[in-house]
């Protein structure tokens, strides 16, 4: 079915609203964590957590994403089946797809734990310059397995289009993070970073299993013949391994460089600014993976439907995200002390310029999912390799202009990545971007640059009057464009 603006807005509103609730719940957590851990503690958390992501994303062979395609395709056939016999056959296929996915996820979770233990010493030397954190990485290894199982079960829910369950689970995970980690930080301080990561990953896994098992009864396959059913997903997933290695290695290089040549405090400041802007953008981007990707995968074989699905998703995302980004640029001087503390005030200029780049990311994401939906492994690998390499511009930016330079580099990276995927979408998948859409993108970009310029040049009441006025004008224009297209 070809989506309408209203359909897409409904999904974005559901997950955007959930993300908004998550942000509100996180206000308390973020504020307290910033007070208890300060910049150094957040820096240590960032390094440990990024390492966990690196090992997890490498060892799971991309099944948390590629697995969605198999389950989603089986679900799509079930919805299109007419006769009872067809529906029964398709329902059986869904059960098999889910069981095979879960079986491979369990095996890869065990492999991830083992890999984390074996790599503990070299990871400690890379990130901290010595082996003092070897035991820390060994103790972190179970969190890799927990994360792999969690992502596998989320793939099941996404493939089965259990959007309400995913939304509820998202809120519960944030609430669990508050209830579990804050007492640990309160009593142990910076020493509680590692236990907090382990406890949260375990709780997240248990919650996700409770929801996914209700959607599809938990069962595994055990024979070699049955496990071979997952070979196609593993083949697609092998490209995720390469992308994960390159992508997370780039992020770890940034953190290791800042830790070894600047300080753990700078790592914390950089991560705080990056996380703050990306979390805010999650109000809109949250629906991409949970709604848009399964829907795109289901209609990809139909050229007209896939084109319409992409372009309309792109339109709605831009219309929603631009006013939010303009408001964020204006409000960051208030947001940073509110969410963190006055000690993080130095990240405001970096966060403001980084926010502009999120508009380009709103174009990048819908187009980047095209190669995933197509199962186009080489193109997917190429896109992600370029994205992983050009993020290293952050190091150049830091050497030139410090934290502000990193923000400029992140915006430049998002712009380059946007141009890349738009070119590929037109060349490989026949997606043509009309002059009207390019004009709209230009106008929205000018709104953000004008807002940023005002924030840099004005102070006091002039800052707030002009900033709020531009945000309102941007909102009016977005609503006008939405009403034109719906």
pLDDT at 242 over 80: no
Position 135 confidence tier, pLDDT thresholds 50, 70, 90: very high
Per-residue confidence band for 343, with pLDDT thresholds at 50, 70 and 90: confident
Q: What's the CA gap between 349 and 455, in Å, rounded?
A: 9
Task: Classify the C-alpha dihedral 22-23-27-30 as positive or negative.
Answer: positive
**Residue of 444, 465, 443 whose CA lies nearest to 454:** 465
Q: Which domain holds residue 404?
A: 5-485
Q: Which of 83-92, 171-180, 257-266, 443-452 has the lowest mean pLDDT?
A: 83-92
> Structurally, how many domains does the chain consist of?
1
On whether the CB atoms of residues 405 and 397 are closer than 8 A, the answer is yes
451 pLDDT above the threshold of 90: yes
Give the span between the Cα atoms of 58 and 335, in whole angstroms: 35
The 10 Å Cβ neighbour count of residue 170 is 19
Q: Would you say how long the chain is, in residues?
A: 486
pLDDT in tens, 368-394: 888 877 777 788 788 888 887 877 888
Scanning the structure block, which residue is given the tokens 């006769």? 83
The whole-number average pLDDT for the span 26-54 is 77
pLDDT at 283 (0 to 100): 62
Given a cut of 60, is residue 74 above it in pLDDT? yes
**CA pair distance 196, 198, nearest whole angstrom:** 5
Taking every pair of Cα atoms in the chain, the longest distance, rounded to a whole number of angstroms, is: 70
Q: Tell the residue number behind the tokens 């309400």, with chain if given.
A: 164
- Among 9-18, 110-119, 217-226, the minimum mean pLDDT is found in 9-18
Q: What is the pLDDT of residue 207?
A: 93
User: Of all residues in the chain, what percent are helix, strand and coil, respectively (each to 5)?
Assistant: 90, 0, 10
Q: How far is CA 34 from CA 45, 311, 362, 407, in A?
A: 11, 40, 29, 21
Tell me, yes or no, if the pTM score tops 0.75: no
Over its C-alpha atoms, the chain yields an Rg (Å, rounded) of: 22
In angstroms, the CA 191 to CA 180 distance is 15
> Sign of the C-alpha dihedral, residues 17, 20, 26, 28?
negative
- Among 213-217, 358-362, 399-403, the least confident range: 213-217
Neighbours of 341 (CB within 10 A): 15
| pLDDT value of residue 10 | 56
């Amino acid at each position: 079915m070809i989506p309408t603006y209203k359909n897409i807005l409904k999904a974005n509103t559901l997950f955007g609203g959930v993300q908004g609730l998550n942000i509100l719940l996180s206000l308390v957590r973020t504020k307290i964590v910033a007070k208890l851990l300060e910049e150094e503690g957040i820096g240590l958390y960032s390094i440990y957590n990024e390492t966990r992501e690196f090992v997890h994303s490498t060892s799971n062979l991309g099944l948390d994403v590629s697995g969605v395609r198999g389950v989603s395709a089986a679900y799509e056939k079930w919805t299109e089946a007419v006769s009872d016999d067809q529906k029964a056959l398709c329902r059986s296929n869904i059960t098999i797809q889910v069981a095979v996915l879960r079986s491979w996820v369990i095996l890869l979770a065990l492999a991830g734990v083992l890999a984390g233990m074996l790599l503990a010493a070299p990871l400690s030397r890379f990130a901290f310059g010595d082996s003092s954190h070897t035991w820390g990485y060994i103790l972190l290894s179970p969190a890799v397995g927990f994360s792999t199982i969690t992502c596998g079960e989320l793939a099941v829910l996404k493939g089965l289009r259990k959007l309400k369950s995913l939304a509820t689970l998202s809120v519960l995970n944030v609430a669990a993070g508050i209830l579990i980690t804050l007492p640990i930080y309160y009593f142990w301080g910076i020493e509680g970073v590692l236990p907090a990561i382990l406890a949260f990953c375990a709780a997240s896994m248990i919650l996700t299993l409770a929801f996914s098992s209700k959607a599809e009864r938990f069962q595994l396959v055990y024979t070699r013949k049955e496990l071979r059913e997952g070979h196609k997903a593993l083949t697609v997933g092998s490209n995720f391994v390469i992308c994960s290695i390159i992508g997370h290695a780039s992020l770890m290089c940034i953190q290791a460089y800042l830790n070894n040549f600047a300080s753990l405090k700078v790592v914390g400041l950089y991560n705080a600014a990056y996380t703050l802007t990306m979390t805010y953008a999650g109000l809109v981007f949250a629906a991409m993976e949970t709604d848009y990707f399964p829907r795109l995968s289901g209609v990809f074989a139909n050229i007209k439907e896939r084109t319409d699905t992409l372009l309309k998703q792109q339109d709605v995302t831009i219309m929603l995200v631009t006013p939010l980004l303009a408001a964020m640029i204006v409000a960051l001087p208030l947001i940073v002390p509110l969410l963190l503390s006055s000690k993080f005030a130095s990240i405001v200029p970096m966060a403001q310029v980084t926010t502009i780049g999120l508009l380009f990311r709103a174009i990048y994401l819908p187009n980047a999912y095209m190669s995933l939906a197509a199962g186009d492994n080489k193109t997917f690998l190429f896109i992600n390799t370029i994205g992983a390499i050009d993020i290293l511009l952050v190091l150049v930016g830091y050497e030139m202009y410090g934290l502000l330079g990193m923000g400029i580099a992140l915006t430049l990276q998002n712009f380059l990545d946007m141009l890349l995927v738009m070119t590929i979408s037109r060349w490989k998948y026949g997606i043509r971007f009309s002059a009207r859409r390019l004009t709209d993108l230009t106008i929205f970009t000018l709104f953000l640059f004008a807002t940023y310029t005002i924030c840099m040049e004005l102070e006091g009441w002039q800052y707030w009057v002009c900033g709020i006025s531009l945000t309102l004008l941007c909102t009016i224009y977005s609503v006008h464009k939405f009403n034109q297209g719906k």
